[in-house]
Amino acid sequence: MFSHLHHRIQRALRRRCCRSASNICAQALQYCKHGEPADVLELVELAVSEPKDTEVLVKLLAAPINPSDINTIQGKYPIKLPLPAIAGNEAVAEVLRVGEKVKQLKPGHRVVVVENALGTWRTHATFAEHQLMCVSDKIDLAAAATLVVNPPTAYRMLKDFVPLAQGDCVIQNGANSAVGQVVHQLCKAWGLKSVGVVRNRPNFEELRTYLRVLGATEVLTEEQLAQTDIFKKALPAPRLALNCVGGKNASDIAKQLAPMGVMATYGGMSRKPVMVSTSALIFKNVSFCGFWITRWMRDHVKTPVREKMFTDLTKLLEQGKLKGVKHEMVPLTEYKAAVAATLDIKGLVGKKYILDMQC
């Protein structure tokens, strides 16, 4: 009874609040405590302030659901926002109105959110101009919505750990992930051999074909990897391994590395720790390190290297050499099943969910 009254008062306050600001009332996915997203997220209405000075009022169009978004809501991520917080980290949006000191952006521009943890799972927001980046209209909506996290992660990991030359080989697990799909395509565009490892599944051959069309040189199940001799016969031993799974799978891809090779860990989808064989360390002098794009982006704000990365990625997208991730658009109001599936321990989801704020 009390909780019912509490909710009615909250709704009335929100409505009054909406009328007092920009006359736009945003719908937003908000959480007041950490927990499983399907349990703690609530669809609420929030006032949107009129843009002042360097602020920009945007209408969000689409925003992906990434594993790190789920970790953040669970409270299992290094970024802890003051509560209540709006979920979501990246998005594509359209500029509606700008403050008087805004220099570049104009109403109608299409933008992506480049600063972390601003809360993108909402229909409207006022952000600062420097938190947004103009994005080409030639890129489809889903590719634009997912431009800022996964493609830069793949790009940086291929560029920054090992100097790779044409014909060098890269191995990765979780090779059907959104990051993995970009890795295969960048490898193809840059003349690298890309070997992907995925978990076995009934439609493995279909998945293998899909990843090979993207650019994978070979796709193996975990079981096939244990027995393969392709690195003795057909391909050079990989100089770089990319690990987003952990556990035995990570040890198995590390075993394939060439002497002085590097394994970069960027995710832990199995929730199992990374184990390293002693001989890989002693006899092959293999190195193990980690990567977090959030730190890289923060450390490279307004740098030529960051600008070049987005120019390169945009060009590849416009040329069709990089395709948007396999995905399903989900109306914002129908978020529950999608947030639950994204980090379900069973995995085998096969697509990225993207919240569609236009319907």
Binding segment for ligand COO (CB under 6 A), chosen from 17-25, 71-79, 215-223, 333-341, is: 71-79
Instruction: Give the distance between the most distant pair of CA atoms in the chain.
Output: 72
Of the candidate residues 245, 250, 280, 297, the single one contacting ligand NAP (CB under 6 A): 245
Closest by CA position to 160, among listed 295, 356, 338, 273: 295
Is 77 known to be catalytic? yes
Within residues 316-355, the interface with ligand NAP by CB under 6 A covers 345, 347-348, 350, 352
Within residues 293-352, the interface with ligand COO by CB under 6 A covers 293-294, 343
Closest contact distance (angstroms) between CB of 254 and ligand COO is 16
Cα distances from 294 to residues 153, 174, 257, 291, 330, in angstroms, run: 9, 20, 27, 9, 26
269 binds ligand COO, rule: CB under 6 A: yes
Of the candidate residues 43, 268, 291, 328, the single one contacting ligand COO (CB under 6 A): 268
176 binds ligand NAP, rule: CB under 6 A: yes
273 binds, among ligand COO, ligand NAP, none (CB under 5 to 8 A by kind): ligand COO
- Given the complex with ligand NAP, which of 66 and 120 has the nearer CB atom? 66
Residues 6+ apart with CB under 8 A from 172: 180, 183, 194, 195, 196, 197, 241, 242, 243, 244, 253
Of the candidate residues 149, 154, 309, 332, the single one contacting ligand COO (CB under 6 A): 149
Contact characters 102-141, ligand COO, x per CB under 6 A: ----------------------------------------
Cβ 181 vs Cβ 326: under 8 Å = yes
Within residues 282-301, the interface with ligand COO by CB under 6 A covers 292-294
Of the candidate residues 101, 271, 315, 321, the single one contacting ligand COO (CB under 6 A): 271
CA–CA distance, 40 with 259 (Å, rounded to integer): 47
Place of tokens 């499983």: 36
Residues 6+ apart with CB under 8 A from 18: 24, 25, 45, 46, 47
Closest contact distance (angstroms) between CB of 192 and ligand COO is 23
* DSSP assignments along 206-249, one per residue: HHHHHHHHHT-SEEEEHHHHHH--TTTTTSPPPSEEEESSEHHH
Q: What is the dihedral of CA 36, 40, 43, 44, to 10 degrees?
A: -150
* DSSP assignments along 2-31, one per residue: HHHHHHHHHHHHHHHHHHHTTS-EEEEEEE
Closest contact distance (angstroms) between CB of 324 and ligand COO is 18
Specify burial of residue 71 (Cβ count, 10 A radius: 0-12, 13-18, 19+): middle
Q: What are phi and psi of 311, to 5 degrees?
A: -65, -45
Active-site entry in 31, 77, 210, 335: 77
Within residues 263-292, the interface with ligand NAP by CB under 6 A covers 266-267, 269-270, 291-292
Which token pair is 232? 């003795």
- Given the complex with ligand NAP, which of 25 and 197 has the nearer CB atom? 197
Closest contact distance (angstroms) between CB of 183 and ligand COO is 15
347 binds, among ligand COO, ligand NAP, none (CB under 5 to 8 A by kind): ligand NAP
- H/E run at residue 159: helix 150-160
Encode burial over 164-174: b for 16+ CB neighbours within 10 A, e otherwise.
beeebbbbbbb
74 binds, among ligand COO, ligand NAP, none (CB under 5 to 8 A by kind): ligand COO
Binding segment for ligand COO (CB under 6 A), chosen from 165-173, 265-273, 304-312, 331-339, is: 265-273
By the criterion CB under 6 A, which residues form the site for ligand NAP?
A: 66-68, 149-150, 153, 174, 176-180, 198-199, 244-245, 266-267, 269-270, 291-293, 345, 347-348, 350, 352
**Hey, which residues are catalytic here?**
77
By the criterion CB under 6 A, which residues form the site for ligand COO?
A: 67-68, 71, 74, 76, 149, 267-269, 271, 273, 292-294, 343
